Amino acid sequence: MLPLDDLLVLDFSTLLPGPLASLFLSEAGARVIKIERPGGEDMRGFPPRFGETSAPFAVLNRGKQSVELDLKAPDALERLKPLVAQADILIEQFRPGVMERLGFGYEALAALNPRLIYCSISGYGQDGPRAQEAGHDINYQAVGGLLGQSLQRGAAPPLPPPLVADIAGGTMPAVLNILLALRQRERSGQGCHLDIAMADAMPTFAWYGLAQGQATGSFPDGGEALLTGASPRYGLYATADGWFLAVGALEPKFWRGFCEGIGLDETLRDDRRNPQATRAAIATIVAGESAAHWRTHLEPLDCCCTVVRTLEEAVADPHVTARGLLDAQAQEPGGRRLVSTPLPLAPVFRDKAAETRQVAASGADTRIVLGEQ
């Protein structure tokens, strides 16, 4: 018995934030039906291919059913009414106003199903000056002040690899608020409309800078905060073979262990005196040895120092296997399998018997909208 196994989710979303949110719900037991345009959603065409489908699509959409429907068709709402009437949750990711123009806005569907929890995920929310502004993950991070926390003026940084706005600003708040809405519905019997804006979560990740700015009257510029480059105890140091050591030795005991481990001069260990000199000395020492040396020499000291892993190395780590993070598999229509997107769901909320789940083929049968189960 899974916590959401009595729920039906209609997922109108595409690409990443919404489909990942419905994957969380599906893995916890919910029945998810994707409503896709004729020919399938855009992610089905994303490379690389994996058998008869797209690998990115497969890892986000295992275990879901699919219905293809032209939402602009005059009878689209009429055809979907049986599903809307049964649904507990609806997820959509269009620009504000699009679902209303198509006849699928919250007010219209709530009239059919007052218990419906209707979750809208957008870049900047359903209202406000930026509501109709286009954007992607990097834009939301930029506007929200998050990117500015680590950028130094005049320096050309690498692109941040985590899609923080899409996942931590879209997917995670959507799942959290949907679960809260379910709890509220238990008490009131009524659904609601959830307005999830990816940009809204960006200042959350700048919490330390916000606290500092309000307390001192001076907001930190890029590289000036404890966790963005001001402290030699927290940062990346290049190794002799061109790779990197990640140092997070913030607390005194970890700092002492790190300093001992690299043999840092005693006069530089009080990094409050001259943090730039301490950082420069650490950089020189770390650059004198290979990443393999620091992995075997520093990591066993338990001082919050770790050689950066490639993704290939990370997924081969025995800890990942032991935690079961790669157990879930998606099976594409031709039968081939690949590891599904790992989700941080507690094992007690996952169906171990369904570790391999199917991916719906493009062109899925639309008869399901007529009430056939």
Instruction: Report, as residue numbers or ranges, the catalytic residues.
Output: 136, 166
User: Angle formed by the axes of helices 275-286 and 252-262, to 10°?
Assistant: 50
Nearest to residue 355, comparing CAs of 367, 343, 368, 373?
A: 343
Both tokens of 107, joined, read 């007010």
Both tokens of 38, joined, read 């004729």
Nearest to residue 327, comparing CAs of 354, 359, 358, 360?
A: 354
Residue 266 CA: distances (Å) to CA of 234, 256, 271: 19, 10, 10
For residue 11, how many other CB atoms are within 10 A of its CB?
Answer: 28
Burial of 57 (0-12, 13-18, 19+ CB in 10 A): buried
How far apart CA 236 and CA 130 sit, in angstroms, is: 36
How far apart CA 349 and CA 269 sit, in angstroms, is: 46
What does DSSP say about strands 234-238 and 192-197: parallel, antiparallel, or unpaired?
unpaired
For residue 124, how many other CB atoms are within 10 A of its CB?
Answer: 23
